[in-house]
Amino acid sequence: MTSHSRVRVRYAETDQMGVVYHANYLVWMEIARVDYCRAIGLNYARMEAEDGVVIAVVDVKCRYLCPARFDDEVEIETCVLEVHSRMVHFGYEMRRMPDLKPLARGETKHMFLDRVTLLPTRLPAGHRPLFGLLK
């Protein structure tokens, strides 16, 4: 299972080097992750509001291959590299469209946390099959 997301580079995302500021790729990975969750049937906003569970980033990596520029259209391909009831690990490929030029590759690891206490919890049982987990 992979999902595909699109963003168009905002002027606000550029810096004085004339390219996208590097921290913004993390924002794109998040957009892609929310889309991935939506694609498997998990509404992120609802999980936060109704189940009281947030998905906190605990680790992030990004390798920058080619700078993205203002008004570029970027495709982000997202997959799950590993998942447990307490943790999920995503991988991302970012490419410029339409020439498919690789822009960046990233990974993020996440823990499920209780929204109020911010202490570790488990992915709500009802949502586990969405990630292919048996229980």
Instruction: Work out how close the CB of 39 gets to a second copy at its nearest, in angstroms, rounded to a whole number.
Output: 14
Considering only residues 39, 51, 52, 60, which one is a binding residue for a second copy as defined by CB under 8 A? 60
The pair of structure tokens assigned to 54 is: 């947030």
Strand, coil or helix: what is 50?
helix
DSSP 12-38: GGB-TTSSB-TTHHHHHHHHHHHHHHH
**Half-sphere exposure for 34 (CA within 13 Å, toward CB):** 12
Considering only residues 61, 79, 100, 132, which one is a binding residue for a second copy as defined by CB under 8 A? 61
Instruction: Work out how close the CB of 135 gets to a second copy at its nearest, in angstroms, rounded to a whole number.
Output: 27
> Where do contacts with a second copy occur on this chain (CB under 8 A)?
10-12, 14-19, 21-24, 26-27, 30-31, 34, 44-45, 48, 54, 56-64, 67, 69-71, 115, 118
